A and B are shown apart, each in its own frame.
Chain A
């Protein structure tokens, strides 16, 4: 099985390297080519705070390895999605995200996707944040979709089927809605062209550490999130609905894992199950 850690220095194909490269590219595109709202200082604060929190929490938890890949992905995701009217909120988001992995745990897994939880907590608790809808323009969107799919196909991210399940469910619901309303196809296709949807699909809901262990469980989970998000967005006019739906449904993972048990995921197989990463 592929896997490995920075500590061993073995050059193994961990999906997170590709994910970091893809998110890093998007951030670079934002700064150089097409501004979708990320700013250098807030981005640096979000990423730096995420890495620092991981460092501190790993020390406190006495982990044998310091793995900075996951917090880097969380920090990059927050940079691309989160907007705030004060710099400390970016740091707060990163601390909540990474801290939650160490604190909010059940049965050896963390319950919530770190960046998703941070976004929801801050949206509820602070008046100063909002989420960039991530309208990257058609070219960047298609490029990102292609890149993210390529990472999946490369097979480096195991259990990435949930990304496909979710994207499929979400798209199917949008298409069904368009059909019911008699809207042209252009509308659901346009609704899919959201950058934040891609980040959510490929980096949050597909986080293998917070999703059900069995394939059927993952499908049910993905569909439930898509359905709730659709309801919240179109019937409650709640935006951004995706993050709220994910955070509300995430605890169901515990139940799904009980009902549909399967082998627990770890990023690197050699590391014993349940070790904090």
Chain B
């Protein structure tokens, strides 16, 4: 598939963008140091959706890697209710990027102690901080039996709320209005129409965009009240060229979310890997994810992170501020100040009132025939995609313990090589060859 080549390129860019920057670390319960992360830009055609859910109140913020001419940009999103102007907003893409980095799978490193005496460890930390521009799927349109229920100017977007009696009319209307609707979308639209859903339709207003001077499209946010807690995937699968990736970041009050209609599976985590993975963490995680997807026959939703927003360990990025969380829809937290969310929150007891779940799904029409429906659980146990490397002690110690320690190293390296092979499917000989270059000689 051609997108694999694009993946590789993007990976390179993403990894090059990693800047050295000291992470402010909270208590180190894991006692590891964050050194690299796999952000969502590794995966092409990766849309990002932030869901903030409180009771029946949902805020959905949509960002995709749209990279074409902005005048081509259009989005059609089925929504469960009528949407008023005050329920629509745009979000700074940096806020979503921040959440992306904060929740990304991470590599942590430890330095072995001197086997002859207790030593302290040191390490550098370097969170990443790329920039993204965003926006959403395409889909498209025409008329007959279509009601324009409302029309809004929202930042750089012209937004319409449509309802329709039947799908042909909607398709015709959308097409007439220069929305390109994929072949075969009628059935999907018809299904949403029957379910009394409205359509949130947005195009870019070039005039206003010029006036704003942003030069990029900001993610759109829609807030509504509905018992439906789902992500509409189906329109996006109609004309897809291959599987697509979607990363869902859910902010909830009580616990992690999970899919009610697909398996929700934790990504393999807390595994020791060779040192050289530090330089290839992007490709490593991509290979790991692809292997996990194929193991589940592409029928599962993967958990990459599930954690109380009040703290992190190790932190892959600065904690989000109250302001950012509110911007993403977590309006229940009661403060929109620009200070870190965990300030005054985490008391070591029951945790804060914001929990984040990061789910990663690779899907196509065949493996994910229906939209993913979610539920919020009461599970507050913390999970992160975390890969560990241990730097061997290099000092000149000569005590008997040091001899034993050195004798045991090759077996440890062998285990790390096997872990890496199991996780990624990479060739064992290549792995051991690369390990030897970093001083990790396997047996």
User: Interface of A with B (CB < 8 Å)?
Assistant: 35-36, 83-85, 127-130, 133, 135-138, 180-184, 186-187, 190-191, 194, 236-239
Q: How close is A162's CB to chain B, nearest CB, in angstroms? A: 25
In the complex, chain B residues whose CB is within 8 Å of the CB of A84: 378
Asked if A130 and B187 sit within 8 Å, CB to CB, the answer is no
User: Interface of B with A (CB < 8 Å)?
Assistant: 167, 187, 190-191, 194-195, 226-229, 254-255, 258-265, 296-297, 299-300, 366, 369-370, 373, 375, 377-380
Closest 9 CB pairs of A and B: A237-B227, A186-B369, A135-B263, A181-B191, A133-B260, A85-B378, A182-B190, A130-B377, A187-B370
Listed by A's residue number, 9 A-B pairs whose Cβ atoms lie within 8 Å are A129-B378, A133-B375, A135-B261, A135-B264, A137-B296, A181-B194, A186-B366, A190-B261, A191-B370
Asked if A130 and B264 sit within 8 Å, CB to CB, the answer is no
Q: How close is A122's CB to chain B, nearest CB, in angstroms? A: 11
A/B pair count, beta carbons within 8 Å: 71
In the complex, chain A residues whose CB is within 8 Å of the CB of B228: 237
In the complex, chain B residues whose CB is within 8 Å of the CB of A130: 375, 377-379
Q: How close is B51's CB to chain A, nearest CB, in angstroms? A: 15
With A182-B190, A183-B187 as given contacts, are A239 and B375 in contact (CB-CB < 8 Å)? yes
Complex alpha-carbon distance, A176 and B108, angstroms: 52
Q: How close is A2's CB to chain B, nearest CB, in angstroms? A: 38
Q: Which residue of A lies closest to B226 (CB)?
A: A237
Q: Taking chain A's interface residues, is the majority helix, strand, or loop, or is none over half, making it mixed?
A: loop
Q: How close is B363's CB to chain A, nearest CB, in angstroms? A: 12
In the complex, chain A residues whose CB is within 8 Å of the CB of B194: 180-182
Asked if A190 and B369 sit within 8 Å, CB to CB, the answer is yes
> Which residue in B190, B259, B263, B378 is a CB contact (below 8 Å) of A128?
B378
Q: Which residue of B lies closest to A35 (CB)?
A: B265
Q: Which residue of A lies closest to B192 (CB)?
A: A181
Complex alpha-carbon distance, A84 and B378, angstroms: 7
In the complex, chain B residues whose CB is within 8 Å of the CB of A137: 263, 296-297, 299
Complex alpha-carbon distance, A36 and B262, angstroms: 11
Asked if B299 and A138 sit within 8 Å, CB to CB, the answer is yes
Complex alpha-carbon distance, A239 and B373, angstroms: 10
Q: Which residue of A lies closest to B379 (CB)?
A: A85
Asked if B377 and A83 sit within 8 Å, CB to CB, the answer is yes
